[in-house]
Structure 1
Amino acid sequence: MSGIAPPVADERTALMTYLAHQRRLLRVTAHGLTEDQARTAATASELTIGGLIKHAARCEEGWMRLVLREPEPDRTADESEEFRLAPEETLAGVLAEHARAAARTDAVIAAVPDLGQAVPAPRGTRWIPAEVEEWSVRWVLLHLIEEIARHGGHADIIRESIDGATQYPLLAAAERWPAPWFQPWEPAPAGRG
């Protein structure tokens, strides 16, 4: 029940704690949204809160496949679709997908004995420099923290543009913080906001 990550004692705990914290902050941007609001691109980009949560889940899934050296699935869909909810997708569905991806990441990392373990770079991916052959599990975790934090910031801006809600009031509402922390967010009365 805090807006900041708790104290940590070692590197692995620090990385996993910060990853969990960034996931939590991304997810709270969806608190109280309607399906239409979760699909709203409220800025100049096409990013939506539902799409950002879906993308974060798929990022974790992809990186864990690399850590485990599993094959990549065939990707035939347009990459930009990953940042929006498809007509058949729901906010609850992508939140569940995100929770499953997080649980898998936690389990995979718990089984890795050395954070320095090599993770091969996939070939032929346009966002990976050709000279990079591998990363470490440590690097992967730092990258996931960065990726989720960046998209959490996008989601914060989108959410504030939708209904004015901001992080601490959303956390207070979602987690039922006791007084006197922050006035919890409440939906606007019908017909307003």
Structure 2
Amino acid sequence: MTSPPRLDPPQHGPEAEILLGFLDFHRRTLQLKTDGLDAEQLNRTLAPSSMTLGGLLKHLAYVEDNWFSVVLLGNDDAEPWRDVDWGADRDWEWHSAALDDPEELRALHAAAVEASERIVAGVLADDGLDRLSVRRSRSTDEPFSLRWILVHMIEEYCRHNGHADLIRESIDGAVGE
């Protein structure tokens, strides 16, 4: 699977387009950081962390599904998340990625991104960035706006893309965007 091209976010325009442009840019950055790697490379760690690029792909697939489908729309968990015993392993997606084929990991992430993009397009068309989530924050019992979720997702990808930079460089020396 080859990653779609990565485009720079727009420098001006409507708020939603700028937010989605940055989120897409960082989604594609993660995909670029994992392109061309085999299972052994996707499962390599950089001491002292146990984080892997395969784990990042699976974790961010889960995060996509959770924030847009579960939190925003109120849906139940989809597969493969539905039957996970999260009480037994809070980091299941990170740990189980080592058992997955690289193309399955890439496809899982790509499918999660596509589903999120459809959800966001529908919500923007109906309610815009101010749409509130069905599910509420565990700490404040307040709903999240779509705007907040998009900013959070940008933050999530940015943070993990920093991890991906270091891990990828340790694998084959690839650096940069």
**TM bracket, shorter-chain basis:** 0.7 to 0.9
Unaligned runs of 5+ in 2: none
Aligned twin of 1:45: 49
Tell me which structure has the larger Cα radius of gyration: 1
Contact 1:39 1:85 in 2 (8 A): no
After superposition, where does 1:122-137 map in structure 2 within 5 Å? 122=136, 129-137=138-146
Alignment of 1:83 with 2:94, yes or no, is yes
Unaligned runs of 5+ in 1: 123-127, 169-193
1:71–1:150 Cα change, 3 Å: same
Cα distance between partner residues in 1 of 2:173 and 2:150: 32
TM-score normalised by length of structure 1: 0.76
Residue deviations 1:68-91, cap 9 Å, x none? 111243540412232244454112
Alignment RMSD (CA, Å): 2.0
Alignment of 1:158 with 2:172, yes or no, is no
TM-score normalised by length of structure 2: 0.83
Aligned twin of 2:149: 140
* Moved beyond 3 Å, runs of 4+: 1-4, 72-75, 84-88
After superposition, where does 1:177-188 map in structure 2 within 5 Å? none
Aligned twin of 1:28: 32
Alignment of 1:56 with 2:67, yes or no, is no
Residue type at the aligned position of 1:21: F
Aligned twin of 1:18: 22
Deviation for aligned residue 1:149: 1.2
Q: Comparing both structures, which one devotes a greater share of its residues to helix?
A: 2
SS at match of 2:34: coil
